[in-house]
Amino acid sequence: MQIELPPPDLGPTSSLNQTLSLLREVLASHDSSVVPLDARQADFAQVLSCILDPLLQLCTVSASNLGTVDMATYMVNSLYMMKTTLALFEFTDKRLEMLEFQIEAHLDTLINDQASYVLTRSGLSYIYSCVQQHKPEQGPLANIPSMDGSSLKAAMVQFDRYLSSPDSLLMAQLNFLLSATLKEQIFKKSTELVCRAYTEIYTAVMNPINQYKDPGAILHRSPQQVHSLLS
């Protein structure tokens, strides 16, 4: 098999589609054959290891020059196509499980990257990392550069814009996902991560130790309110 580069829409390559269509034909002919069950099961296993394993390897190699998000999107699409092909046939449970496991790993990448994308563009990224890395011996958070009340207020204006239309901050690659269900799952789980980050910021700002004057005026939304706006 020749290595084909992922297409610009990060969908499956034409060689992947062709091979899967061949696999469908082979499995369909086995499915309808009168061969005894256990022999058919052994045949299936052999066909799958002869076709699927090299195919998986091929996808991984062809994705190797892509950036993290592009690679994860391309791999999810390719694995999803393999999964939908295999789901039509018996004796494929173990393989489906393995594909599902690989999809999940790439989804984790996309969930984390989408959450970072939102935090960066909604003005919370720097604040969140300061909160996470803050140690008591550094003194109150309010005294750390760009963590004063007015800086936080400015960031909240940006965050409010995001809250009014969460859909506007979506990595372009997510629109290339073939499965609407997976896209929805990424959106939902990354939004949960954003809510969690806001909760940590909120807790830190409300903590008297960090010496914010009138913290309620800086962060005028509770984590619960943010959560309900985003869910």
* Contact present, 144 and 130 (Cβ < 8 Å): yes
Distance CA 68, CA 105 (A): 12
Cα 109 to Cα 40, 60, 89, 103, 219, distances in angstroms? 37, 15, 30, 10, 30
Distance CA 166, CA 230 (A): 7
pLDDT tens, residue order, the chain (231 aa): 567 899 999 999 999 999 999 998 888 887 676 677 777 788 888 888 888 999 999 999 999 999 999 999 999 999 999 999 999 888 889 999 999 999 999 999 999 999 999 999 999 999 999 999 999 999 999 999 999 999 999 999 999 999 999 999 999 999 999 999 999 999 999 999 999 999 999 999 999 999 999 999 999 999 999 999 998
DSSP code at position 6: P
84 Cα distance to chain centroid: 19
The answer to whether the pTM exceeds 0.75 is: yes
Q: What is the pLDDT of residue 2?
A: 63
DSSP code at position 67: -
Task: Please give the single-letter amino acid code of residue 72.
Answer: A
Distance CA 142, CA 211 (A): 6
* Contact present, 198 and 125 (Cβ < 8 Å): no
* Crossing angle of helices 68-86 and 93-121, rounded to 10°: 150
The domain limits of the chain are 14-91, 111-230
Distance CA 98, CA 169 (A): 32
The class (CATH top level) of 111-230 is mainly alpha
Residue 194: count other Cβ atoms within 10 Å of its Cβ.
Answer: 26
